[in-house]
Amino acid sequence: MNKIYTEEELMEKTVAELRELCKGYNIVGMSKARKDDIIETILAFYDETEEYTEDDGNDDNCSDELNDKVPYITANVHSILKNNTYHSLISVSCGAASSNYPVVGRTVGFVKATYREILNVETDAKGVVNGVIVNDSQVLKSGDILEFVRQAGSKG
């Protein structure tokens, strides 16, 4: 279980402590990131969790007691307790190939490097999240759809 910190509390932590915190949240790609970037990524991760808490605030299946506990549970546990409204799998495709992978909180660049061979992703393929071109540093959120653009066929 991971506690959620305020921005001020995060600022007081050392870079090593922040990186350790990222590990607990399953946020990757932070080993060489600057302190500001790490904090920004952690806050974005919190926002996402909070977004789902707010969306389902009046959900009968979700008691106030549960909402009180949300800041102290991991995203995956949250997913189960909240009727799976938090999707931990993201659809990733390249050309005709596609699959679902547990890459919430990971960067587009990480997904490209990890699944490049399986999906036959070209090294210079652009990442597109929900129909919009993004950089490799973009962190994926629950519900995102990721595509790596495959080159068009040249013959005919």
Q: Where on the chain is the footprint of other proteins (CB under 8 A)?
A: 93, 95-98, 124, 126, 128, 131-133, 147, 149-156
CB of 100 to other proteins, least distance (A): 13
Which of residues 88 and 93 has its CB atom nearest to other proteins in the complex?
A: 93
Question: Is 15 or 118 the residue whose CB approaches other proteins more closely?
Answer: 118
| Residue 41, token pair as written in the block | 């990524």
Q: Which is nearer to other proteins, 35 or 150 (CB)?
A: 150
Other Cβ atoms less than 10 A from the Cβ of 126: the count is: 14
Length, in residues, of the chain: 156
Are the beta carbons of 93 and 112 closer than 8 angstroms? Answer: no
Which residue, 89 or 133, is less far from other proteins as judged by CB? 133
Nearest alpha carbon to residue 127 among 117, 118, 116: 116
Token output for 104: 């919430």
CB 146 within 8 A of CB 128: yes
Identify any residues that bridge with 91 across adjacent strands, giving them in sequence order.
100, 145
Smallest distance from other proteins to CB 118, Å: 12
Minimum CB separation of residue 64 from other proteins in Å reads 35
To the nearest whole angstrom, how small is the minimum distance from the Cβ of residue 119 to other proteins?
A: 11
